[in-house]
Copies of this chain bind each other. A is one copy, B any other.
């Protein structure tokens, strides 16, 4: 028989989160596991159908590197950010676009549940104004401004926005933006209080290689400074620190297992690492 205590808990969260916007960030790696992706898409549709408003942000890291190699291009990174020359940019955008459509497709044609109201929609542009970062990174940018009205309009019409991290600068150049950083900026712009970063790691590991359950902002800064955090984790932690300093209350770094979002949002027990003020 059902554990009613858990059900009551879930109902509390459903009520509490009704009409709230959350950002769910998908790391590129996790998109490779069809079962997990399908299961997470199911979560998004279910949450949407009971009145919660998810916004999806994603990267395409693994795919980009692999496709670059097929094209004879060598992936290079500086402090966790991809060096992006003009040819690389085409591959980056092409791969992000593919991944974006894959997520949209999983949500819109979910085989586990048939929703008549949840429709995912992807945006190519008009969302991030950006400016170039250090020259050596090439076409890589920082977010300068976010068109949050556009996202709220889409949410208001009942859509689940699925966003890829590409911006445009003053000269009209397309710029590759680190997905974790874009997530933080989007959260600030949308006045979102909770971000879920879905990874294939499932949390921040300490010096001893064990998962850290909770981190304050200052502890997180230490992890970055002391180079305990891995390369891929650095932008996640940096953007988390930044987002929290701008008003986001909680960031959950969670392993992308089956129904990971549902478990994270509708139950009390956390998994992975929660970063707070």
Contacts and interface: CB of A to CB of B under 8 A. Distances in A.
Q: Which of A14, A72, A124, A147 has the most CB of B within 10 A?
A: A124
A101 to B, nearest CB: 4
Given A121-B123, A123-B123, A90 B67 contact: yes
A137 interface: no
A177 to B, nearest CB: 13
Nearest to A153: B157
Interface stretch (A91-99, A187-195, A212-220): A91-99
Contact of A98 (B46, B109, B153, B174): B174
A144 interface: no
B6 A2 contact: yes
A13 to B, nearest CB: 10
Contacts of A87: 67, 70-71
A95 to B, nearest CB: 7
Per assembly, the copies of the chain total: 6
A8 B262 contact: yes
Contact of A7 (B15, B72, B262): B262
A276 interface: no
Contact of A15 (B50, B89, B98): B50
Given A72-B72, A90-B98, A98-B174, A269 B120 contact: no
A258 B122 contact: no
A166 B100 CA distance: 12
Contact of A94 (B14, B15, B97, B109): B97
Contact of A168 (B105, B174, B267): B105
A12 to B, nearest CB: 7
A109 B168 CA distance: 11
Interface in A84-121: 87, 89-95, 97-98, 100-102, 104-106, 108-109, 113, 119-121
A136 interface: no
A31 to B, nearest CB: 12
Interface string A152-167: 0110110100101010
Interface in A234-277: 258-259, 262-263, 266-267, 269
16 contacts: A2-B3, A3-B3, A11-B262, A12-B46, A71-B71, A71-B90, A90-B94, A94-B97, A97-B125, A100-B125, A108-B126, A121-B125, A123-B123, A124-B124, A153-B154, A153-B157
